[in-house]
Each structure stands twice: as C-alpha cells, then as structure tokens.
Structure 1
C-alpha cells in the first residue's frame, strides 16, 4: 500500500551524546530517516542532544530540538508540536528506552501519538531477556541455558545451574554495558552487581558460556505484508566472548555451507515474525558450535544498529531510509533501488561480488590504567571498513586504514627465544587484546601451526589459513628482496592487498621507490562499483572501491571537481564533528557548481553515504590510496582541512607528489602543527609564550628540560585531542615518555 495519509508529522528521537557502543552510526541513520520522511511530505520533528551531528542541522528536519533525551523533555516537545507518530528505532538504545518510558508514563496515549517502526510489545519482547528467551523457544529456536535475576541472591541460584564461566547480560543496555564474563565467585559478584545497577529494569540475564563458538549476524528487513529480505550476512572473525563491536567482522559470511546459511536465514525471518517487527530492520545474532554445528540464537535488536550502518555501507542498501518508509506504510516492492536507478525494487535482496572487512579502532593508549583485554563489553571507539575482491585484500586495506602505525600484518612481538616469550605470545592469542590480529600473524612467523593458533584463539581455520598465506608471502618477499620483484610478483602481491609501504619495508626500499617500480610495470588499481546486484544491472551511483583487475568501472567525468578527504575511523579527539565539516563542505561545493568526490573509510558516517557527494571512494586514507584516486579523477584540487589530523598528515606528501592542495596550504598547516615552527612564529610576532624547547631525541629532551625547568608539559607535533600529552615532574618519567611517545609525532 502507498504511504499513510492519516499521519502528517513524525517525531524522531536521536541517540544523544557519543558513547562507546553508540556512535555516529545513529547520526547516519537519523539523517537518512529525516530525509526519507521529508521526501514523502511529512513534517519531521527531531529531538537530539548532540550538536555535532548532521541530523541537528536546521535543514535536516522541520523542527529541531537540541534537548536532553529524557521522557519529561520529550513530553514537553510532544505537548508543543503534537506529532501524529513517534519513530524511536533510529536513536539506538537511547531512543528505544526513551520511547518505552513515554509509553509507560502514558505520554503517547495522552497526546494520541502512535508508535511506528516497532511496537511497544516488539521492543519489550526483544529487549527483555526473559521474554525473548521464551519467545525463541516457542518457535523452536535454541537459546543458551539461562535465567533472569533481579537480585544477587537469585543470581547465585542461577549460577549454580549454568556453571562457570557465566555470561552476564543486563537488560536494556547498550554495547554490553554493565555485562561481562565471570570466571570465579569474586568476578561474578562484581559483574552482577554492576549489571543490576546499570540495567534500567534492574535485571540481568545469566547464561551458559558459549565462549569459542563462531558468531554470525543477519541484517533483516520486513514489511507489513510479510515481505522479508536479508540485506547482509556478517561473520565475526573473533569467536563468542568478544563483543561484536570489538571483533573483526567480514561480509558476506565466509565459512558456512549453503545449507547452514539457509537455516540461519530462515531462523532470522522467523525471529522477526515472532517478535513482531513488521515495519523496519533488525539485527539478529547467532552462535554456532564449531564442533557439531549446533545453532543457537543470542539476541536481536528491533532497530537500526551499528551493524545496520555497516551492512548499509557494505551493500549499498540504505537500511535506515528504507525502514523509515516502511514505518509510514510502504512495502518493499513499492520502493525502488536508487543505486540501480530504479531498475530493481527494494525487495530485491542485495548480492555482492566482493568482500568487506571491518576492523575496530581502540584508544587504550589514552587510558593506560584500563583493562585492555576484550570481553562482552564493548571497548572500541571507532572502526574502519575496507572493500576488496578477496578477504586478504580487504583485510590488509582495513589494517592500513586504521592509522595505528601499521600498513599490514606488521610484527608486534619481537623475538621469541625463551619459554617466557612463548608463554607471553600464547597469552596474547588466548586472551584477546586490541592487537590480536597482529599476534596471530606473529604466531605463524614463530612456527605455530594452524591447529595451534586455532586452539588458542578460537578463530576459524579458514581465516587463519588466509592470514598464514599472507605471512608466507611476506617471508618469500623478504627472502628474494628487490631483485625478485617482477611485474608478475608485484601483481600477485597487490591482488592480496599489500601496500607499497609494506612491500618496501620487507625488501629495504621506501614507499616512493616501490611506487616508481610499480609504475614502471604499468600496474595501477582499477575501481569497481558497489551496486547491490553483483553487476547484474547498470549502476547509476558512483560508489567505488579499488582492486587490482583489468576492467575499471569508475568512468570519471570531465566536470570541474573537488576532492574532500574525510577523517577515517573515529577516535577520542577526532570524531563526528569532523565528518560534519566534510559533509557541509560537500554540500557547499555542490551549490557552487562543482562535482564533489569524497574519500573516507568510516562506515558509521554521513560522509560515506552514497548520496552525500557525487562520487564516493570507500578507501583507506593513505598516500598510496589517495594518489590512485587523484590519478584517476584528476580533480582541480584536494581539500585536507576538514577531516582532522588524518588528512592534515597527508598534505605535505600529496603536495610533493604534485597534487593541488586547496584551502589552507600545506606550509600553513605545518606552521601551525609543528611545535618548533609555531614557537618561532610566536617569537617573530612578539607574543608571549611559556618557555619551551623542541627535542628529537631522549638526550636532547633531558638537556632542554634542565633549561626550561620541571614540571613540564610535553607533547608531540601533529596530534589531536591531547594525544600523548603529559605533565612530567622528573627526568626518569621524561625518559620513559620520550621512548613511548616519539612514534606518535610525524618526526
């Protein structure tokens, strides 16, 4: 049926401030929903408390309220605006919980506001652990043995039944907040007490451990005519026990047979039918026992989620936009696919002919006292997504897109000579931390077998074999050196995702020298389109990724065009506010008559929506990857000043390569960012500044510290958000600081 005419205005609840587990993916979802509903002629009222978001722009909705996301505040907005409907599924857990509060306090009934997108009962059944478990058992789906406790005494009774380790999951919380894995009585009491405190309903689910099982996700969309599609299947490289937000994930699923996949697909649809989600998208999570194939359901989110944003970017299917239109009465077959120019309906299940890998970004260096072991409580602050024709290519592209000082599977553990060294390596494999993928590669370098690493990590042997193959390629490359780098060998390495800088590191050349050799071989990447249909239909949208093949699908225009470099993965100090700047730069350039090209690798953002700019390149923000796009597109200029430190660091090398940098010049950027040059500028201007010096070695630092005098504020150049900045009171601490922090700065 067509859009509903009995409602004229819709209130959308945003997600509020950025927190771990709820980041700018909900700005992306909310912005899409606002745009979709305005397209249909509805008056859109938006409530959100985060001023750094695109959705809180005055033009995003007809009325924007930057107010706390609390039911009392929302009641005042409802009293004033009198919306006909409330859409709560775009604001993460915050939006859902607030909507339920409005229902419980009778606000929606009082003002005649209809809940759309998901009913109260559907939200409650999906989020209430006990009701969800009962519902799944009613439709014949297996769940972990578990029970719900509302106090510590009952929790101990349940623990005696399920045993250790025990998974603790508070109800109605986000990102595993308040939960964890208890291995003993002390941990159990601590985690349960915390979970009861953080759950708004004061209840926790205690379930049997499925640690080490394989974890999968399905992104499902259903309409009120019971049309169901699987938008994307996602496999977690890390096993159960690590929050999916902290796990490396891969789409589509790689290690299931078709029969296993179809069973999971059918189960996902059955879950949505039972819960009652019939006007939108949901995320359904499963675990599979690698020993016997036993399938159990873990949970489902009756709303758009972090995984929904990832699935949207991975497939080109705009889940939030479609979900918003389903919520106002449309069916999937009535909506057209924009990427194929309307040649296919939204009911046409996306098909992809590439592999997408998401790698989380952590910032434990900012919190040195924090426990950096990964558990069921999410700890990552951002993520990077990469697209390649193979898992190996997409993995290596994602790793270099993280901007953590690696350009592939670089060694991290040094020599393994003693038993203590080997035990330390085993610990890193068994108890996952932020660097586990690199320790897996190191394990193969130091002689561990596929089965050894599989037993220690719980990672599927197929993924481990792919990683081992990359390590073996590195070994062969190192052994043969630059003389062995033929055109055929270079082609093979680039097909597997090796960067010029990583190849150079292995054979003793710098990145520029390797690039020169590659150009001599006439080897350059081509660009393929994300089209939702594996090239079955013509794509009218320039949503592109690089790979090494023969046919290029980029088809650049001859228009006047400007390229904008985005901010890469979110981190503390560089987040959603820079994406806001990039998006508005794209809008302004469009208005000025330029074709806009966006380059970014963050799947959570509005800037990586395929219709924010004229052309989107989902690529790592490295010199090699950006130069390849510049070479293909030939823009009039590249803007680096909107994406935070990420593009600023590329300004000088891009300029050196002949790329026209417009806006703030690379020299002006360097003048502001380089501590020594900035100090000299202040002196020339005759302005006051604290006594300071710039050091490049430990010896220089100690000597200059004596001149300036303790205590000292020490910080590197080219950093954001106070990263690696400390107050130092004595020489011993200064020496440690310089050793640990020198790599943070460009110099």
Structure 2
C-alpha cells in the first residue's frame, strides 16, 4: 500500500553529471515511474545534461547548486510532501543529515536522517553496528597519547593512522606495523588542534559488497554480490570487480547476506542498501567497512549483471510498496522479493586513458571502465582486462619481459594498473601461486584462472589444439583473442561463436522481458529475431565519463526514435549499454567485446533496413566504406583552424545532403574573465547574421552530400563570422543542443535516414526555427541556469 499523504516529491539530483553519469539512467527510471504512478515531481540539479531528456516527466526543474540552503529555500517556497535523496550521490545524504530539525511534516523517502548521518560520522556508524552485534572495526580519535597507546595495546598491530585537522581535513592513512613506526609517527610535528585517528589495519583482506532491498514491512532480499579481485588497500573502483562473488562458499555468503539485511534493519533503510565487507579467509575475521543507503555506481553495475530493475524498485519501496508487489510500468507486477540467480559472470574492469602505469592505492585513479560477460573467470578476463584490442596488453607483455626477476617482483609488491599483466608474466616465469597469493593477497582462484589463460594461450601458439582440449579452450574464452586464429578456423562445433541471453532466474520472469545478450562460444544461439525490419546501432567503447554521458544520451534518443518510426532497434557494442527500463522492452542489446557479430550472420540481411554507426573506434565490416546502408554518426573532425576570439557560436546542422536545418545555436562569449554560454541563440540573431551563417554553412558543407549532423564552431572577427572548427557526427555538444532545442535533431536525423527529406525553399526563419521559451545559460562552464527571453536579452545587453 503506497503512502497516502505523498503527492508532490522533490528529487535531490546529482551534483556533477561527469562524475555521476552512472546515475543518469537511474534518474530517468525514477522520474518516469513516478510520472506513470501519477506523482508530481520536481528536481534540483546542478547540470541539466544529467537528466538524459527525462525532463518530460518532471513538473519543475530547478537548476541550482545542490546545497542544503537551496533545498530549504525550495521547501519554503513550494512545500512538497516528500524529498527523495536516493539518486543524488553522497552529497544528497549530507543534505538530508543537515535538514534534521529544520523541516517539520515533509517526509524523507528511502534514507532517513540517521542512515544519512552515519555515512559521514564514523562514531555513529560504529556505535549503531556495535549495538546490533554487527562486526565493525573500532577506532580512536584523540589528542591524548595515553589514550592512543592504551587503545593500540588492546587491538595490537598492524594499525593504520591519520591526522584529523581542525578544518575537517585529514592526512592520508599511514600503515604502522610496530611500536618503532608508531613512535616515529607520533613524533612528527603537526599543527595545534589536531587529533590522531587510529584503527585496526585490514589491508590485504578480501573485499566484497552486498546489495539488499528492504521495504517498510521488514521484507528484504539480496539483489547481488560483487567481489574485488584486488585486496583492500586498493580503491574499490580501481579494482577488477566480479559479480557474483565467486570465492565465497555458501556458509560465508549466507553469513554476509544476513549481516547486510540486519544492517539495513538497524538503520531502517528503505530501498537499496549496499554493504562493504572486509574478509580474511585465513582467520575468518569479517568486518563491515561502510554502507551506502542509496543508488550508486555499484547498483547500476548490479542492475545490468542481474537484470533486476533496481532504480524502479527503490523508488516504489520508498513510497510504501511491498517488496513483492512493485509495479514496473504502473500496471504489471514484479516480485522484487525473489532473489536473482544468475547463470553467468559479469565483470567490470577499470580503464585508464593515460597509458602510463598508475600505482594503485586508496585513492581512485581510473577514469572509466568496461563491463563484460562470460561463463568462467577465464572468459571474462580474456574478454575484459586481458583483451589486447582494448588494453594494448601485448605491448605491456613485451615491456615486462625485459625486466629481471627482482624488478618484476618489485612490481608485484607495489601494484599498478598493470597488475594482471605482471602476474601473468610472473606465472610464465614459474613463480609459485601460493607465494603470489601471499604477497598480493589475491585469492587463489583468480591466480589459477590467470595460469589457465596463460597455459591455454600457449597451447594455441604452439599449435597443440586437439579434440582433448578444444572444449576447455572455448570455455576459457580463448576464441576472439588475438592469437586464436587457429581455434577460430577449427571445424569443431564447440568453437562456434554464439549469442547467449544474460539470464537471471527470478528477475527474468514472465512480464519482464530481458533483451540483453552477449557474444560467447558454444553450440546454439539463444537469440531469436522477429519479422520486423531492423536498424542496427553500433555503440562505441567508452574512454571517459563524458563519453559515457554522450553515449547514454545518443543511444536513448536513437532507440526511442527508431521504435517510434516503426522499426526494431538492435544495439551492438564493445560493452553493454544500461538502457532505461522502459526502453529495454523495445531494444535488443548485444555486447560484443571481440567484434564477432559480423561473422555470425544471425540477422537476415533482408531485415536490416539501415546501420547507424556510432562506434567511433571500430567497424564490423571492412567493406563499410562502400556500403550505402551504413550511416557514420560518430564525431569526425573535418576542420580545425587556430583562430582566437572572445565571441563564438556553435551551430548544429542537420542535412539530407542537399537542404539544411540549423535548429540549435549555442552562443559563447567572455567578459571580465567570465565565460557565458547561452542556448537557443537562434532567437536572438538578426536577419543579417542568419543570412551570413547560412552562407557559411552552405560553403563549408558543399562537398558533403550525405545525410548527417554537422557541428560548426564560428568565431566573430572584425564584425564577421569566421569558421574555426567543423565536425561531422555527434560531438559531446549534442546533449546541450538537444536539451536546448525544441527541434530534436537526432529524431530528425533518423527520419532522414528512413527516407524523409527537408523541404525545399525554406526561408531563414524556418531553417533556424526554434520554439523554446526557456534558455539554458552557463557561467564558467559550471553554473547552469534557465532564463526566459527577457532575462536573456538583458544579459546579452550587459555582456
């Protein structure tokens, strides 16, 4: 039964779209289901690009810095019935904690004051866990040396220590193994008003995270588990993650599951609660290190791994629904209490765009990741972290082989993002697995998997593939890895490349279709295509957080447009795309890290209407350049001239190869060290400026007679516009253009691809037409604000 006195909900949005891009589809799912259930919703968000066009479901969008003061101002002005903070990153929890006692009858949904505060105040976190007999690491924070030494005598070495300064900042953690090192640490001169924090060291323990769902009626379910290949001491998101946790036997898994549910009960968390554990398999010591009572990067990974619609279920549980009676589309029921059982492994491997080695430690250094699926640890290693087509592993191997044993061992004890490559080289040199496990604290199953990868690559290299080992090679994901041509050419039926459904028993029940697939090897394909004509969209591999946001946005708009125009979208990519829930019913998603789909010929050629290539880095077919059915929409630089100017416009042009529309122009200017960007500048251009810009467009694009989107950057010099940059396809500006323009250029592009034409003889107003009445203004690329026509006009006059 839903809470009856909640009708109007304020959502606390994420602070930065670049850092919290994983929350973008969760945000879309949340506001869409609230809209379908009939709630009025508002959101306060710093960067509206994080909305992924979900603004159509929102009644009010406030573009302001997401702070407690601004939230309070909104509450006093509009008096919503409830606040939903669970998709607003850690900042939202801090705001909720600060609101205690400042609001009266406004509900906090999902995460209460206590849970929010405990994510920041370690003393409260420890106290609550201790009261509920949950395993937690005690610590001391004091400036009294007697108290500190007394505490250490109780817990023993090793310990970790840091200084807490009066301005709430901390020093880094220092590992201390004995009394001598402690005395040296205590003797360091520091500022006054400084406390020392000390706790038991768990460096080298295995790290796990469990995500549970809980409703207001004490019903709870385990959604999924994640295991870090690297031990604690390396940042969780710089580690190679595996789901489900494969190194836990059933008794250990049930133990941690019970702890997770008990913690959610202790803090009365309604919705998703992710609990992190440190586990020592030698001593069976177990500690809860932190909990996250909200949606996060991990929950998005689990949503893909398990097919469980986490974001939608979370918001409905927050509204009072029973766990076994949530509604995915305000009509069909979904039993969220059934715990998913997956038949595959999903792995997330961190990526570094800088090719240099990065030392791994407690601070996060990776800036992206790739997600792959498989049926064994070896397969996901081969498809992800050891995929030479993604990570240039062959170059790494060549460098590592030049090291002597001492130099290699130095890299083992001081891990970098080359850790798995280093371990492979160590195994090649016959370093013993027990020794490597002792030194690195990596669990033996992963080292055995690396040994298998190395051994079976050698089998292929030495031409020793036969009927006795070919099935094992295929199970280990060798097919598709650079040196496997001999295996790929084998006539053995086992080596056939197939497409498998990412099955999740429990989540993939009747009424909840799962259209996620991945390319692997085996005997039979799971995928079946209907008779509808299809448009295939090739998705890019991701290299940065910004790329993820652009991909999420473009794929969402493409899929929606393809579906609305009566065709079936098929998205094929090097890694999976986590589509919003409503879109998953209408799109087939196939992740193909080794680019094998082109060889399968699974999709009847006469059913492929068009191919839209947004892949940026790869083509499925070497004959693409001659294939008129393929539309390249990935960004390609056509012109780049270094001409500086204080005033610039960015013009988005969509063309059918002959006629043009320029529905979105972004104006950019500098004054007094401030940078201003104004969307929809079409409506502020004079007739003379429009005529000059159209002449420039025709001149620059005269040689390009194909359907596509173009982006022109034009600088004002001596009262004339000069073109400095021209891009073909989707640049990162596409999000701002789409959000700013009432003419949806991606949908227009799809219609042109399907055969529509732009009308002949359009006048200037029709070419530059834009119906928007709200304008997105950005100051110094950080502060966003919506303004009306008069406000923008006044701003233009002032700058």
Is this a same-fold pair by TM over 0.5?
Answer: yes
The answer on whether the counterparts of 2:231 and 2:442 sit within 8 Å (CA) in structure 1 is: yes
Provide the secondary structure at the position in 2 that maps to 1:217.
strand
Q: Does 1:587 align with 2:587?
A: no
Give the aligned length: 638
User: 1:645-656 alignment to 2 at 5 Å?
Assistant: 647-651=615-619, 653=621, 655-656=623-624
Aligned partner (choices 351, 364, 383) of residue 361 of structure 1: 351
RMSD over aligned CA atoms reads 4.2
User: 1:121-200 alignment to 2 at 5 Å?
Assistant: 121-148=114-141, 165-166=159-160, 180-182=173-175
TM-score, with structure 1 as normaliser:
0.75
TM-score, with structure 2 as normaliser:
0.71
- What residue number does 2:765 align with? none
Looking at structure 1, the residues matched to 184 and 49 of structure 2 have their Cα atoms a distance apart, in angstroms, of 38
Looking at structure 2, the residues matched to 384 and 545 of structure 1 have their Cα atoms a distance apart, in angstroms, of 14
Looking at structure 1, the residues matched to 533 and 28 of structure 2 have their Cα atoms a distance apart, in angstroms, of 28
Aligned partner (choices 27, 50, 57) of residue 30 of structure 1: 27
The answer on whether the counterparts of 2:397 and 2:425 sit within 8 Å (CA) in structure 1 is: yes
Q: Does 1:17 align with 2:16?
A: yes
Higher gyration radius (CA): 2
Looking at structure 2, the residues matched to 637 and 158 of structure 1 have their Cα atoms a distance apart, in angstroms, of 69
- What residue number does 2:311 align with? 320
Q: Does 1:427 align with 2:407?
A: no
Q: Which moved more, 1:562-571 or 1:260-269?
A: 562-571
Looking at structure 1, the residues matched to 385 and 530 of structure 2 have their Cα atoms a distance apart, in angstroms, of 31
Looking at structure 2, the residues matched to 601 and 187 of structure 1 have their Cα atoms a distance apart, in angstroms, of 51
Q: Does 1:444 align with 2:427?
A: yes
Measured against aligned partners, the alpha-carbon deviations of 1:449-504 in whole angstroms (never above 9, x if no partner) come to 11122122111011111111110001121112xxx456886554333112434224
The answer on whether the counterparts of 1:637 and 1:662 sit within 8 Å (CA) in structure 2 is: yes
- What residue number does 2:73 align with? 76
- What residue number does 2:761 align with? none
Structure 1 residue 218: Cα displacement:
0.5
- What residue number does 2:240 align with? 248
- What residue number does 2:276 align with? 285
Q: Which has the higher helix share?
A: 1
The answer on whether the counterparts of 1:623 and 1:654 sit within 8 Å (CA) in structure 2 is: no
- What residue number does 1:463 align with? 446
Structure 1 residue 205: Cα displacement:
5.7
Looking at structure 1, the residues matched to 467 and 604 of structure 2 have their Cα atoms a distance apart, in angstroms, of 21
Provide the secondary structure at the position in 1 that maps to 2:199.
strand
Looking at structure 2, the residues matched to 536 and 209 of structure 1 have their Cα atoms a distance apart, in angstroms, of 44
Gapped regions of structure 2 (runs ≥ 5): 641-697, 701-728, 733-799
User: 1:24-423 alignment to 2 at 5 Å?
Assistant: 24-55=21-52, 57-103=54-100, 106=102, 108-109=103-104, 112-148=105-141, 165-166=159-160, 180-182=173-175, 206-277=198-269, 279-335=270-326, 345-365=335-355, 372-399=358-385, 404-406=390-392, 411=397, 413-415=399-401, 421-423=404-406
The answer on whether the counterparts of 1:444 and 1:468 sit within 8 Å (CA) in structure 2 is: yes
Distance 1:132 1:312, change over 3 A: same
The answer on whether the counterparts of 1:168 and 1:182 sit within 8 Å (CA) in structure 2 is: no
Provide the secondary structure at the position in 1 that maps to 2:358.
coil
Provide the secondary structure at the position in 2 that maps to 1:89.
coil
Measured against aligned partners, the alpha-carbon deviations of 1:198-231 in whole angstroms (never above 9, x if no partner) come to xxxx999642111111111110110011001000
Structure 1 residue 423: Cα displacement:
2.1
Provide the secondary structure at the position in 1 that maps to 2:262.
helix
Distance 1:665 1:267, change over 3 A: closer
- What residue number does 1:624 align with? 596
Provide the secondary structure at the position in 2 that maps to 1:37.
helix
The answer on whether the counterparts of 2:237 and 2:350 sit within 8 Å (CA) in structure 1 is: yes
Distance 1:520 1:496, change over 3 A: closer
The answer on whether the counterparts of 2:221 and 2:339 sit within 8 Å (CA) in structure 1 is: yes
Looking at structure 1, the residues matched to 188 and 326 of structure 2 have their Cα atoms a distance apart, in angstroms, of 46
Distance 1:422 1:407, change over 3 A: closer
Q: Which moved more, 1:494-503 or 1:430-439?
A: 494-503
Looking at structure 2, the residues matched to 515 and 658 of structure 1 have their Cα atoms a distance apart, in angstroms, of 27
Looking at structure 1, the residues matched to 631 and 188 of structure 2 have their Cα atoms a distance apart, in angstroms, of 51
Gapped regions of structure 1 (runs ≥ 5): 642-646, 674-684, 688-717, 722-747
Looking at structure 2, the residues matched to 190 and 401 of structure 1 have their Cα atoms a distance apart, in angstroms, of 48
Looking at structure 1, the residues matched to 45 and 8 of structure 2 have their Cα atoms a distance apart, in angstroms, of 17
